[in-house]
């Protein structure tokens, strides 16, 4: 469940998070006495979601996945939400292996992987861009999380891996997202060997968008988020959905999809407002809505 916490300040460290949060943050927890698994803040169009279980290196337990899903979905259709940033100390080590023992049973294991798949597809289906801000390790399902995000900014100290094969659990579900983000042979080498790749290798192969020094991570990520916020939410939502749809199609079908979407975009009030503002040499005034300029 989620509820507001009224505490004093927020500080992040690479390996730990102090239990102090400003009143604008909400927390998602399992029980009244458990620590927050995720933290959520909405500010000026930007939603920040913090993975907050550094003791497990932010393992994506079933509870963590449910908490993350709730934080993504909460009021996500509100026009005041323009972009989502997912981060956390260490980032994420992937699934919690303690949940994957025989004692849990097949039904529980199925719930874990189905929920994980739902979260990863949700990231690509929500109407706003989702940005991963990585400073640390992103392994297995943690690497899948990075690959599922629309944009990923990482520090030069970050590493990415799918090491499941080393513990007898091949990273098949991470491979769905990673195999769509990097060249096939790179994905297969990562999954067959479990060898971690550096941030620079991840950038080279397209797993991340940018690599920066640790001291510039926040600035660079927030800069991207603010630039997204400068655009019409309705236009961005239309474009994101169209991009995801056409990527799954062949060339000719993709062009047909994109052509129809461009025409639909022009029919939006914000589409016409942007063109008028350009012609008139002024800043556009967005409605961020699906209001139509014409049929």
The C-alpha atoms of residue 40 and residue 50 are separated, in whole angstroms, by 6
Taking alpha carbons only, the member of 178, 91, 95 closest to residue 141 is 95
pLDDT of residue 35: 79
Contact call for residues 179 and 153 (beta carbons, < 8 A): no
Percent over 90 (pLDDT), the chain: 87
Report the distance separating Cα 116 and Cα 201, nearest Å. 26
Which of 11-20, 143-152, 174-183, 246-255 shows the lowest mean pLDDT across its residues? Answer: 11-20
Model pLDDT, residue 26:
57
What mean pLDDT comes out for the span 178-185?
97
Separation in Å, CA 190 to CA 56, 58, 60: 23, 21, 20
Question: How many C-beta neighbours within 10 Å does residue 104 have?
Answer: 14
Each residue of 228-273: pLDDT tens digit? 999 999 999 999 999 999 999 999 999 999 999 999 999 999 999 9
* Least confident span in 5-14, 27-36, 64-73, 88-97: 5-14
Query: 41: phi > 0 → left, psi -120 to 50 → alpha, else beta; which?
Result: beta
Token pair of 80, please? 């005041």
CA count, 13 A, side-chain hemisphere, 146: 34
With cut-offs at 50, 70 and 90, classify the pLDDT of residue 3: very low
Provide the whole-model pTM. 0.89
Convert the pLDDT of each residue in 134-150 to its tens digit: 999 999 999 999 999 99
């Amino acid at each position: 469940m989620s509820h507001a916490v009224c505490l004093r300040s927020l500080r992040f460290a690479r390996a730990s998070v102090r239990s102090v949060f400003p009143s604008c943050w909400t927390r998602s927890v399992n029980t009244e006495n458990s620590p927050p698994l995720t933290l959520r803040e909405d500010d000026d169009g930007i939603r920040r979601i913090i993975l907050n279980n550094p003791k497990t290196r932010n393992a994506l337990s079933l509870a963590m996945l449910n908490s993350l899903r709730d934080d993504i979905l909460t009021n996500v259709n509100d026009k005041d939400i323009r972009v989502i940033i997912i981060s956390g100390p260490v980032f994420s080590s992937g699934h919690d292996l303690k949940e994957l023992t025989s004692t849990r049973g097949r039904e529980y294991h199925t719930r874990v992987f189905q929920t994980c798949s739902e979260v990863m597809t949700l990231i690509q289906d929500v109407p706003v861009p989702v940005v991963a801000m990585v400073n640390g390790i992103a392994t297995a399902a943690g690497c899948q999380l990075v690959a599922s995000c629309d944009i990923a900014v990482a520090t030069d100290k970050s590493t990415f891996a799918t090491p499941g094969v080393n513990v007898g659990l091949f990273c098949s579900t991470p491979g769905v997202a990673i195999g769509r983000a990097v060249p096939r042979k790179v994905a297969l080498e990562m999954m067959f060997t479990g060898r971690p790749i550096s941030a620079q290798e991840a950038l080279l192969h397209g797993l991340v968008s940018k690599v920066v020094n640790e001291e510039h991570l926040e600035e660079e990520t927030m800069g991207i988020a603010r630039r997204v916020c400068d655009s019409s939410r309705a236009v961005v939502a239309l474009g994101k959905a169209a991009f995801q749809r056409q990527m799954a199609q062949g060339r000719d079908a993709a062009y047909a999809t994109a052509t129809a979407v461009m025409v639909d975009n022009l029919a939006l009030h914000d589409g016409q407002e942007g063109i008028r503002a350009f012609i008139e040499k002024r800043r556009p005034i967005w409605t961020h809505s699906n209001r139509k300029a014409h049929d």
